[in-house]
Amino acid sequence: MKSPFAYVPRRGPLQAASPGAAVAYLGALVAVAFVYSNPLVLLAAAAAATLAGVLAGARGAVRAGWRMGISLLLLIVVVNALIVHRGETVLARLGHWLLFGQIDVTAEAIVEGLSLGLRALVAMIAFAVYSACVDPDRVLRALRPLAGRSALTATLVSRLVPVTAADASRLRDAAQLRGPAAAEVGKAPLARRLLAGSLDRAVDVAATLELRGYNLDAPRAHNRREPSRHDRRFYAVAALLVSATIASLFVGANGFHAYPAIAIATGPATVALCALIALSGLAPLQRRPKRLSLPADGTKTVYKGPFSSRRRGGGGVARV
């Protein structure tokens, strides 16, 4: 069973782009999420990351990122609502709790937790798209001259995270197939078995890397890959997002505060920024090749190459 976060080679602009261009594009969406706290802007960033993943063919990774992001979002909202007691709109008074004191759930605390959770959701979706669409081997080759050890560590993490997720899924399936008479397996035993398997795999990977000589200084590769024609598109979109993010801060597009009362900016600047961020998700869109138009007589023009004719030099155009 393959994890949805595993890299799968596909034909598309995001997969064909260089790692720097793909990281700049997805990193710009994450940067927007961490700079802004307005829920409208965060929802636009989540929509852009989702649209980018769908257009890149990573639907499974996007779904997995949404599941993990929503779980983390709900956890942040619940914890923030129980811990933070600020706000004017009290929704529930849960009495006095041990170690927490008086618990008053306010709408302002829920909205603040929602804003923090949306940031985590955008980061989860962007990482899922990155893991499924960016080749970690190309990332390693690109970063090895700058920081070889860090590049190797990042590449191993991006490779082993999908493997660990697949192991967890197999362990859950095996626990369910033990039969009705077997004792129910809790989450703690599964977590311990998953941790033990991860440590064993880490030892095997370390031994394999040592045998392959990764601790030695490798010669520089001369056959570097040429930049993709899609790089300029992603760099331009990333630069546009960063510029618009910085410029919109000065016109009040990030007008949001939850305490003491909820206030969310919904002006023209905020709406324009949300539209721009959402449209940036169309960057991985692949253009369809142009179809040949048929002449009026119904025949189509077919190019015959220089080796397609029986006589030498017989290349040309033929009517079919």
**Distance (Å, rounded) from C-alpha 37 to C-alpha 256?**
7
Calculate the average pLDDT of the chain.
78
**Contact criterion met (CB below 8 Å) for 320 and 298:** no
Is pTM beyond 0.85? Reply is no
Please state the rounded mean pLDDT for residues 192-202.
79
- HEC assignment per residue over 89-126: CEEEEEEEECCCEEEEEEHHHHHHHHHHHHHHHHHHHH
Three-state SS for 142-196 is HHCCCCHHHHHHHHHHHHHHHHHHHHHHHHHHHHHCCCCCCCCCCHHHHHHHHHH
**Gap between the terminal Cα atoms of the chain:** 48
Q: Each residue of 24-42: pLDDT tens digit?
A: 999 999 999 999 888 999 9
Assigned token pair, 102: 């008086």
What's the whole-number mean pLDDT along residues 191-208? 79
pLDDT digits (tens, 9 = 90+) for 58-86: 898 899 999 999 999 999 999 888 888 88
Output the pLDDT for position 158. Answer: 67
158-194: pLDDT as tens digits: 677 777 777 777 777 777 777 666 667 777 777 788 7
Spatial CB neighbours of 148, under 8 Å, sequence gap ≥ 6: none
Nearest to 25, CA basis, from 245, 302, 232 = 232
Identify the pLDDT of residue 91.
Answer: 82
Per residue in 145-158, pLDDT (tens digit) is 666 666 666 667 66
Q: In 3-state terms, what secondary structure has residue 257? A: strand
What's the pLDDT at 73? 92
**pLDDT(291) > 70:** no
| For the chain, domain boundaries | 13-172+234-282, 293-320
DSSP SS3 for 85? coil
Looking at residue 81, its pLDDT comes to: 86
pLDDT above 90: residue 315: no
pLDDT at 96: 79
Task: Give the rounded percent of residues in the chain with a pLDDT score beyond 70.
Answer: 77
Mean pLDDT of 9-14: 84
* Predicted local distance difference test score (pLDDT) of residue 5: 75
